[in-house]
Structure 1
C-alpha cells in the first residue's frame, strides 16, 4: 500500500472536471499538497494508507472557491455608504474615505479580516485590486490563502502612488518578485477606462507582455460609463481597449454590463475573460452582465464578489446562487447557467481567468489540494437528489465545515487555524471607531 498524507472520505466529491462528475461514496487522496486520486472509498482503503484519515459522511467535497474580483481591505468600509448609485458612492463617499484612511496598516488589517471571512466561506484563492499591495502580501502569507494581486493604476495620485508611472514602477517590482510564487501572484490593475488614459494603458500592455502576466480592469460597469465614453470620443470602452491591443487571453474584464453584440464578439475572438459580480452590480444598480450570451459565444465567465463595501459580503456560495438565478432572468431562459456550470464559474473558470487552471480549480490528480467540505447532513438539505443543486441553490456559508489549502487544513469545524478570529473582530471594531469619529 502507498503511504500518503491524507485521505478524506465523503458522501460526494464534486471534482468540477470536464465530465462534470458527481462521485458518490468516494475518497480524495492527498500527498505533498497535491491531489493523488479520487476513487471509491473501498478502493482507496485497499490502495493507500494515510497519516491522517477522515470520514465525512453527509458532506460534499468541492474545489476551493475562487473569488476572481474584490477589494479586500475595503471590508473596513462595509456598510458605510449603502443604497447609492455607483458614481455618487465613489465620488462622495468611497474616494474621500480612501483619501483619509487608506494606509499600510489599513490594507494589512482589512485584508486579513477579509481573508478570515473568505476562508470560512470556502474560498481558497481570491483576486484583489487595491493599493499598498506589499502590505496585502504581508497580510496574506501567514494565512495560507492564495491570491492574485492587481495593483491599482490611476491617472491621478493616491495614498500609495503619486501617479501611474510611480504605481507601475512599484508594482512591476512586485510582479517580478512573485512571478512564480506558490501563494501570491501580482498582475497589473488599471482601474477603469474612465480613470486611465491611453498612454499608461499602452505601458501596462507592454509590461504585462514583457513579464508574462495578466491585466484586470473594471470595464463597462454601467450604461452611463459607456454613454459617457461614446459622447467623449465616439468609441465604446471595449472597442477602445481592443484598438489599444489590451483584450486577449491575459485580460480580465470585470463587471461587463451594457454589452452589445460587437462587444461580445470582440471578447470571444480575443479570448478575453469576463469577471461577473452580480450582487455588487445589483446593489449599485449598475446593470446586468449577459452571462448566457457570453458563454454561448465561447467566452470564459468567472465569478467575483467585488468588495464588501458594495456587496456587502464576500460569500461566494451566495454569489453563485445569485449568478445562477440572475442569468436565467436576464436570458429569459430557465436553462441558462445550470447549477453545475454555476459551480464551474466559481472554481475552474476563475482558475482559467488567472491562468492557473493547470493547478487550481478542480479536484483532479496532480492539482493542488485546495478544497472545502460542505455539510449537507441536516434538515436544510433534506432530501438530497442532486448535491450540486443543493450547493448552488440551498446552501449557506455556515455549512462550510472544513477547508484545506495545499493539503493543509486552514478551517476545522468552522474554526480558523491560520488567523485569530477574535483578533480580527477586535481590529474591525478599532477601525470602526476611528473611521466613525
Structure 2
C-alpha cells in the first residue's frame, strides 16, 4: 500500500538548488521541503511531489535557490549616514565627520530607523542574517525581532563614554542585561563587540574573555584594519595588536576578526591554529584605502574566511552579491593567482562560513535537512546572466542583487517576486529623508 504524502507547510521547487554543503554542488530540478521553519528534505522535484502535500508550493523555473546570505560584519544603523563623508582617509572620516555626527544624533530613534532601512535593503538583496556591531543593542534587537530578521546582536565595549554607556562597568552590566533579555529568542543571539585594540584596554579585554567563555558567545572585533593602526600599536605597546590579543587570551575559536589587512605569515598560521574566523570587507577597505586582506592566504591556511559589507557610511551599501564578486576578484589580484578564491568558495564565504563564524553554523548557511529555512531565490534568466554555463560562477561574477526574487527567514516569506512583505517602505523612505535633512544641516563638509 502506497503511503499518503506528508502534509507540510511549504515546498519550493527550483531549477537549481545550490546547497553550499556539500561544497561546489549544484542540484538540477530539485525541491526543498519546509515545515515549522525547518528544512525537512532536499530532493528531486518528482520525488518531492510524491512525498509531500504542501500547504504552499512555490515554483521557480528560472531560479537558483541558495542559502540566505550572511553579512558577517555590519553597522546597520549607519545606513542613515550613507554618503555623508565620502572620499576621505579613515581617521579624517571617523574623527571629523562620523563620530561627531553620531554624537549629535545617536539615540533610540536613530538606531531604530537605521535598522529598519537596513533590513529592507538586506532582504531585497538576499541577505537574511547580519552580525551587528553598534550601540543601543536593546533597540537594535527589538527592531530585528519586530521585523523578523535573523541577527547576532553586538554588545559594545569601548574605553570612552557614549550615549549608550559612560563607564566600563556600565558597558559590561548593560551587555549582560541585553544578553539575558535575549535568551531563548529564535532569531537573535549575541556577541561581544569591543571596538578595536586601540580603543579597548587590557583590563576590558580580559573581562570580555572571561564573560565570553561564561556566556558562550563570540567576540567580534575590528583589528589590523590599517598599517597606521599597527604602527601606532608597536610604538605604544612594543608589540603588534594581534600579539597583544594573543597575550590577553582573545585569539581563540570565539574571535571574529574583522578587516585583517595587515598580517604576517606567522599571524595567518596562528589564526588557523587557534580557529579564528576572519571577516573580509573588501569594498570598505578599498574605499578607505585601508589595505588588502590576504584572503587567499588565509583560505589556503585553513582559516574560516567570511564576508561582510561593513557599514553604509564606508561602503556605501549592504550588497552582498557585490561584496562576493569584489572579494573574489580582489583575492585573485592580491594572490597573483586567477584560480584563487573561486566562485564556489566565495559563495561559501558569504553563507556557511559567515554562519560558522558567528555561532550559527548548525542553524543556517546551507540548505540541509535539520537547518532553519533561511532561503533566497535568484532569477538567472535576465539578459545580463545569459548564457548560463556554471551556476555558481554566474551567481558570483554576473548576478546583481536586483535579481533576487524571493526570500524566507525561518520559513517565513519576507520577499515575494521582488516585493517586500510586511515592511512599510513608504514610511522607511520618509524617515530616511528626515534624518538626511537633520544630519546634513549639521555636518561641517
TM-score band by shorter chain is over 0.9
Q: Match for residue 7 of structure 1?
A: 11
CA RMSD of aligned residues (A): 0.9
Tell me how far apart the structure 1 counterparts of residues 51 and 211 of structure 2 sit (CA, whole Å). 49
In structure 1, which of residues 184, 199, 203 is the aligned counterpart of residue 203 of structure 2? Answer: 199
Tell me how far apart the structure 2 counterparts of residues 165 and 97 of structure 1 sit (CA, whole Å). 26
Q: Match for residue 243 of structure 2?
A: 239
In structure 2, which of residues 188, 191, 198 is the aligned counterpart of residue 184 of structure 1? Answer: 188
Q: Deviations over 1:68-105 (max 9, x none)?
A: 10100011000000001111111111111111111011
- Is contact 2:84-2:440 (8 Å) kept? no
Q: Match for residue 298 of structure 2?
A: 294
Q: Match for residue 65 of structure 1?
A: 69
Q: CA deviation at 1:134?
A: 0.7
3-state SS of 1:151 partner? strand
- Is contact 2:15-2:28 (8 Å) kept? yes
Q: Match for residue 374 of structure 1?
A: 378
Tell me how far apart the structure 1 counterparts of residues 390 and 42 of structure 2 sit (CA, whole Å). 19
Q: Match for residue 32 of structure 1?
A: 36
Q: Match for residue 359 of structure 1?
A: 363
Tell me how far apart the structure 2 counterparts of residues 282 and 7 of structure 1 sit (CA, whole Å). 41
Tell me how far apart the structure 2 counterparts of residues 87 and 205 of structure 1 sit (CA, whole Å). 28
- Is contact 1:317-1:397 (8 Å) kept? yes
Tell me how far apart the structure 2 counterparts of residues 159 and 100 of structure 1 sit (CA, whole Å). 10
In structure 2, which of residues 306, 311, 335 is the aligned counterpart of residue 307 of structure 1? Answer: 311
Is 1:213 the counterpart of 2:225? The answer is no
Q: Match for residue 156 of structure 2?
A: 152
Q: Match for residue 60 of structure 2?
A: 56
Is 1:16 the counterpart of 2:20? The answer is yes
Tell me how far apart the structure 2 counterparts of residues 398 and 237 of structure 1 sit (CA, whole Å). 40
Tell me how far apart the structure 2 counterparts of residues 379 and 200 of structure 1 sit (CA, whole Å). 53
Q: CA deviation at 1:180?
A: 3.6
Is 1:100 the counterpart of 2:104? The answer is yes
Q: CA deviation at 1:173?
A: 1.1
- Is contact 1:125-1:147 (8 Å) kept? yes
**Which structure 1 segments of 5+ residues have no match?**
none
Q: Match for residue 321 of structure 2?
A: 317
Tell me how far apart the structure 2 counterparts of residues 263 and 203 of structure 1 sit (CA, whole Å). 24
Tell me how far apart the structure 2 counterparts of residues 102 and 203 of structure 1 sit (CA, whole Å). 26
Tell me how far apart the structure 1 counterparts of residues 420 and 171 of structure 2 sit (CA, whole Å). 34
Q: TM-score, normalised by structure 2?
A: 0.97
Tell me how far apart the structure 2 counterparts of residues 356 and 258 of structure 1 sit (CA, whole Å). 27
Tell me how far apart the structure 1 counterparts of residues 426 and 168 of structure 2 sit (CA, whole Å). 38
Q: CA deviation at 1:371?
A: 0.5
Tell me how far apart the structure 1 counterparts of residues 276 and 440 of structure 2 sit (CA, whole Å). 41
Q: CA deviation at 1:176?
A: 2.1
Structure 1 segment 383-398 matched on structure 2, within 5 A: 383-398=387-402
Q: When the two structures are aligned, how many residues end up with a matched partner?
A: 437
- Is contact 1:11-1:25 (8 Å) kept? yes
Is 1:349 the counterpart of 2:339? The answer is no
- Is contact 1:348-1:361 (8 Å) kept? yes
- Is contact 1:20-1:340 (8 Å) kept? yes
Tell me how far apart the structure 1 counterparts of residues 98 and 104 of structure 2 sit (CA, whole Å). 10
Q: Match for residue 427 of structure 1?
A: 431
- Is contact 1:66-1:125 (8 Å) kept? yes
Structure 1 segment 115-194 matched on structure 2, within 5 A: 115-194=119-198
Structure 1 segment 72-91 matched on structure 2, within 5 A: 72-91=76-95
3-state SS of 1:200 partner? helix
Tell me how far apart the structure 2 counterparts of residues 398 and 222 of structure 1 sit (CA, whole Å). 33
Tell me how far apart the structure 1 counterparts of residues 190 and 197 of structure 2 sit (CA, whole Å). 21
Is 1:223 the counterpart of 2:227? The answer is yes
- Is contact 2:23-2:344 (8 Å) kept? no
Q: TM-score, normalised by structure 1?
A: 0.99
Q: CA deviation at 1:163?
A: 2.5
Tell me how far apart the structure 2 counterparts of residues 79 and 378 of structure 1 sit (CA, whole Å). 30
3-state SS of 2:130 partner? strand
3-state SS of 2:251 partner? coil
Tell me how far apart the structure 2 counterparts of residues 234 and 266 of structure 1 sit (CA, whole Å). 19
In structure 2, which of residues 100, 111, 116 is the aligned counterpart of residue 112 of structure 1? Answer: 116
Tell me how far apart the structure 1 counterparts of residues 23 and 392 of structure 2 sit (CA, whole Å). 14
